[in-house]
Structure 1
Amino acid sequence: MSDYSKLLDPKSTVDEKLDIIEKNVKGRLSVLLGLPNDTNIPPKFSYIVDEVVAARFSRIGNEGMKSAGQDGLTLVFQDDDFTKFKDEIDEYRTGNVAGRQRGRVMFL
């Protein structure tokens, strides 16, 4: 049975589903951070893994939808779960952890 089938199977346990989602999130974050294969995600990014796993778990069965509504409750999903972490990811990739700095350039 494929991972996607397990996610949609009502007989799969919550832990099985969370393990699959976490594996996929870590793989995607690894690519975004520019890490070599089989490299662990740095611990300082564990909060990103946790938040994205929670978001994706709550969206099981609604993949590909921008919003879902039922009985007056409407959920709106982001296109990319990593968008709100873009600054942190970019800082890690570029090594610029201080952010933008003001300075002056002089040409001689």
Structure 2
Amino acid sequence: MAVLDDVKLLLDIPESDADLDNKLNLIIKNAERQVLSHLPSGLDNVPNELEYIVCELSVTRFNRLGNEGMSSYSQEGESITYGDDIAPYLSAIQAWNNMQKNNTRGVVRFL
């Protein structure tokens, strides 16, 4: 699975380390569902062009483990504020959706 390998690379987890694979696969599956919820119905898989969003959402979610339900976290001068994880990617998803609506080249329709 390419996304799993990319997520492990971004998190500095060796590819050979399979201890977290089940947890990472669940996080990736949930990120895929989150992206798919913003795409036209009928799609079963996230398009390759949007796979980077799944990867980024997965890394963000993994880094939030242990802080579920918190809107912010502060300790010894470090402050983290959590928002809607997918919000920064909605414009890219919408642009992809618009491209699909405008892409009628190569389509055969029988009446």
User: TM-score if structure 2 supplies the norm length?
Assistant: 0.66
Residue number in structure 1 paired with 2:99: 95
Q: Say if 2:110 is the partner of 1:85.
A: no
Number of aligned pairs?
Answer: 84
Provide the C-alpha distance between the structure 2 equivalents of 1:17 and 1:96, rounded to a whole number of angstroms.
33
Identity of aligned residues (%): 32
Larger Cα-atom Rg: 1
Q: In 2, distance between residues paired with 1:48 and 1:16?
A: 20
Which of 28, 34, 58 is the aligned partner of 1:28? 34
Q: TM-score, normalised by structure 1?
A: 0.67
Distance 2:52 2:91 in 1: 14
Confirm or deny that 1:65 pairs with 2:104. no
List runs of 5+ in structure 1 lacking aligned partners. Answer: 1-12, 99-108
Name structure 2 gaps, 5 residues minimum. 1-18, 103-111
| Stretches (4+) displaced over 3 A | none
